Amino acid sequence: MITVTESAAVQIKKVFAEDGRTPETAVLRVFVQGGGCSGFQYGLSVEETPQETDKVFESNGVKIAVDPVSVRYLEGAEVVFVDGLMGGFKINNPNAKSTCGCGQSFQA
C-alpha cells in the first residue's frame, strides 16, 4: 500500500484542478525508474486512468496507480508535500537502503 498525507492530497488536488481534472477523473501515478545519483529515482505524473496491470490505492481522496515493477520498491511508501524553498512532493520510502541528499533518488 502507498499512502498520501493530508497536506500532499490537498496539493495533488490543486494539480488535478489546474489540469482541469478532479480526483474522480484522474489518478496520481507514482513510479520508480533507473537513474539518479543513488541508482533509482522517483517519478510522479497525472493520468486519466490506471493501466490494466497497475495496482491502485486510494488515500485521503486521491487514487494512486503504481505499475507492477515499481510496486515492489514502493510498498509502504508515503507521498508527502514539503513547503519551502527546496520543497515539493517527496517520497518517504521504508524500502530505501540509502537516499541522495535531495531525496529524489534511492538505493534499494
pLDDT, one tens digit per residue, over 58-94 is 999 999 999 999 999 999 999 999 987 667 899 999 8
Residue 83 pLDDT = 87
The mean pLDDT of 9-35, rounded to a whole number, is 93
**Residue 29 · residue 14 · CB < 8 Å:** no
Residue 41 pLDDT = 86
- Nearest-10 Cα torsion for 51, 54, 55, 56: -20
Confidence grade of residue 12 (pLDDT, cut at 50, 70, 90): very high
Cell representation of residue 100: 541522495
Show me where the domains of the chain are located.
Answer: 3-107
Cβ-based neighbour number of residue 61 at 10 Å: 13
Q: Which sign does the torsion angle of CA 11, 13, 16, 17 carry?
A: negative
| Digit-coded pLDDT (tens) for 34-65 | 765 657 888 999 999 999 999 999 999 999 99
At residue 75, what is the residue type?
E
Write down the CATH number for the domain with range 3-107.
2.60.300.12
Q: Indicate the SS3 state at residue 99.
A: strand
